[in-house]
Structure 1
């Protein structure tokens, strides 16, 4: 596990720069749009080894007395059940998780805004759920006149048609579960309403990717494109910044396309020319935290492969378009990588093929391979006892504990009792134990077997390990592996031809 990024240096640089931006802001309030994930930014942690996935929220904690948070979610992401891959949960559930996490850090939640609101049952149910739990919720609609008619946008028909979000703190953080959540529109709408009320306010953007002072084709920046392939984000040289300052900087197409409009809107609202380029709007010091460029390049290439494998599964499930899948593949080719360059892919596939060739009973065998912290590849296969993911977990912790591969951590009696419960009481379609069930059985066995208890303590050492399965995991198994911090990918194949149980 090589380190290529200094989390301490990054937090120091970023907090210093934000404070400067707040102190230099000409106004009583700063709306700070947070791009990317504010909590558990696992993408940043994967492409910048050493990055603290909670660095942003820890930074905000230093400013908690001055800050409050608005969370935006696009109504369309609710109706389509858009998913956050890191946790396997939909964006509406991610909003609930964000609220809980912010509260743990003692940060004030102002409200949730449903942007580009549409009168749909799922959207209304989400709003009702929040309001009945005491969370203020606002509906913002598509802005009339956007993007060309600035006079209409900055009027009572445009931003004025949105409800004003009552805020009191000098720093208002505007975030969301992912890209396209409507954060920018919410910031500008608030800016308009503040000036109508005689309150001087300003706008800035907290951004991590793309990293403006890395080369355009640096793998870390290309990994950002891979992460947003469904949004069709493309990195570009910021021509406005180059023209204004003679310094090349990297930005991306959505910011570049919208900048002329945003600049005109801000000027019309405030009467000032605040920014010369999209890069000017950003607060991004991530590039200064890189301590080993080669380590970060390698990690980013692995992330690009990972994103392609995820895209193949999402396409199989009907979640993304063919163009998004093709874009993911092109980005992987751009950095000169193949799927097989992910170290756990070939061992999983080769072991599965080996089992099929030696015995026809293994025709539908599923195999998972996992890379240990020392580089050793451990495999596990599906059986009538357990799924492949559960098998590889047991084999991996036995390896880490230095126990013999043939040692049984879970007794036959425990297996039989649990499978009988699934078959005869719960009437489950499958008797093979899932990851969660095997971990429960391991815990129970640990009360009688010291080896099982010792091995179970090694589960924490699997955090950050890569794994690959030759078939699509069930949602339950995928969630357990993600909770353990295992970076897992799959081949786009279902275990059976059944439609419902898959």
Structure 2
């Protein structure tokens, strides 16, 4: 993929801009981090050149000034809320995040449990953290939040929350997922700091929407597609336009809550430091786009991928028609259809030729490889083998795994493990390939090509099982799937 984003420039500009914002206040800034602090694969897909760990690397440049507070809602603990991308509960993710930050030399100061009202599961989690030597604070439900500003900004509102003890100028507020209460934690701390004579500041760091590119730029529309389930809508920031006469982009939730935030700032400080939601942001990503056309193309492809993901969610009953309709509208706005994704037609045409489910993958040089369903292999497994052989320049007719090696695996699946489907999944075919590689140089050559699949595009003509879906993800293949089931599928 052609580079469209200057990552090194971004790291330098972003860290410098945050330092400037710290200095605007009383050497104390509470920085709300929206989205993912690391593993930001959406940003890396729509801004080619953006590294998934860019925000983490940027924070490492500020490591001597920064500490991290992780926020989790007691309601999410009670509901055992799951992170969709990782399949783990929010409380487990808090522990994972702490380990990751510490491994990178970042200081994790404490954990805050928000919306606390004595939930037993939240109390047990608090006790567990404290036994691990982690400081835990509780913030409570405030009646009338966020509209009852006089109550919220009072001793009976934020005043009842635990004061979080911090020791560094930059306090990064992050969470396992949305709705955890990061902003409320920041504002509660501003109230408590003000009582202690410290004029602390608040800022927000979210990569998307990018405030200084056009409203309907495909990069911003790709963000709308990514948040279609939340019904986020990008919009011109009316407060910024009125205050400065400049057009900037924000999104509906920040614009809607700004009058309330402004009232809170005025009640805490006596006056608000900001005139618009855009003022609160510190995102420099828009200044680091170095090839606009490359970012447009990448974003259009991301919208198509999001469309297929929503079709899948609709098929399994995980979303409504409205989510799919919204992404269809976004595709119309950027002027693309599913046929602008080359692997789609390749997979569907292969299915027509063979009369069975098929798959296609586009290599980085543009070549397209296909895979068909056979008695031995599913279409996705065949696709992986064909792609590896193509990369290794191994003739198609050459077997890198002998049928004799596949047969015992099929016997194990059907006779001993109770599977009705004898065909190998992607994980099983890779294991068979690795076993063959021990005695077969050609198989080893094919296996060596696996890293080259990272970032490749793939499509299957039917829905695949969870095993194949996870394997595509582990290989960092950006795969989409037709939202239809194989009639005789037995996973």
TM-score scaled by length of structure 1: 0.90
Partner of 2:376: 385
Q: Aligned-pair distance for 1:405? A: 1.2
Task: Report the CA distance shift for 1:389/1:123 in structure 2 as closer, same or farther (over 3 A).
Answer: farther
CA displacement at 1:221 relative to structure 2: 0.7
In 2, Cα distance between the equivalents of 1:89 and 1:464? 25
Corresponding position of 1:16: 16
8 Å CA contact 2:215, 2:236 repeated in 1:
yes
Q: Quote the residue 2:263 is aligned against.
A: 264
Q: Is the 8 A contact 2:83 2:176 kept in 1?
A: no
Q: What corresponds to 1:361 in structure 2?
A: none
2:38 is equivalent to residue 39 of structure 1: yes
Q: Distance in 1 between matches of 2:480 and 2:131?
A: 38
Map 1:86-125 onto structure 2 (within 5 A): 94-116=93-115
Q: Structure 1: where are the runs of 5+ without partners?
A: 357-364
Alignment coverage as a number of residue pairs = 490
CA distance in 1, matches of 2:75, 2:422: 38
Q: 1:197, 1:291 → 2: CA distance?
A: 45
Match of 1:439? 430
Q: What CA distance in whole angstroms lies between the structure 2 residues aligned with 1:368 and 1:129?
A: 47
- Does residue 348 (structure 1) correspond to residue 350 (structure 2)? The answer is no
Ranges in structure 2 where 5+ consecutive residues have no aligned partner: none
1:190-249 deviation line (CA, Å, top 9, x unaligned):
222333344432111112111111011111111111111111111111111111111111
Per-residue deviation, 1:326: 1.9
The CA RMSD measured in Å over matched residues stands at 2.5
Counterpart contact for 2:71–2:182, Cα < 8 Å: yes
Q: CA deviation at 1:159?
A: 2.2
Contact 1:369–1:469, Cα closer than 8 Å, also in 2 = yes
Pair 124,493 (structure 1): closer, same or farther in 2 beyond 3 Å:
farther
Does the Cα contact within 8 Å between 2:80 and 2:90 map onto a contact in 1? no
The TM-score with structure 2 as length reference comes to 0.92
Match of 1:193?
192
Could you tell me how far apart the structure 1 residues matched to 2:439 and 2:172 are? 51
Kept after mapping to 2: 8 A contact 1:11/1:55: yes
- 1:259/1:470 CA distance change after superposition, 3 Å: same
Q: 1:314 and 1:400 mapped to 2: Cα distance?
A: 33
Change over 3 Å in CA distance of 1:238–1:294 after alignment to 2? same
The alpha-carbon deviation at position 128 of structure 1 amounts to: 7.0
Which residue of 1 is the match for residue 249 of structure 2? 250
Distance 2:124 2:328 in 1: 37
Quote the residue 1:149 is aligned against.
148
Q: Secondary structure at the match of 2:410?
A: helix
Are residues 1:65 and 2:56 paired? no
Distance, in Å, in 1 between the alignment partners of 2:296 and 2:185 is: 35
Contact 1:208–1:286 (Cα < 8 Å) also in 2: yes
Alpha carbons 2:110, 2:136 under 8 Å: kept: yes
The residue that corresponds to 2:389 in the other structure is: 398
Counterparts of 1:137 and 1:240, CA distance in 2:
37
Distance across 2 between alignment mates of 1:352 and 1:80: 41
Match of 2:170 in 1: 171
Label 1:53 to 1:310 Cα distance change in 2 as closer, same or farther (>3 A).
same
Q: Structure 1 residues 402, 323: CA separation in 2 closer, same or farther (over 3 Å shift)? A: same
Q: CA offset at residue 21 of structure 1?
A: 0.9
Aligned pairs for 1:175-324 (under 5 A) are 175-324=174-323
Post-superposition Cα deviations, 1:75-94, rounded to whole Å, max 9, x if no partner, equal: 56663845444x56665555
Query: What pairs with 1:317-336 in structure 2 (closer than 5 Å)?
Result: 317-336=316-335
Q: How far did residue 96 of structure 1 move?
A: 4.5
Cα distance in 2 between the residues matched to 1:232 and 1:429? 41
CA contact (8 A) 1:5 1:51 kept: yes
| Counterparts of residues 465-476 of structure 1 (less than 5 Å) | 465-476=456-467
Q: 2: CA distance between counterparts of 1:378 and 1:90?
A: 38
SS of the counterpart of 2:299? Answer: helix
1:453 partnered with 2:453: no
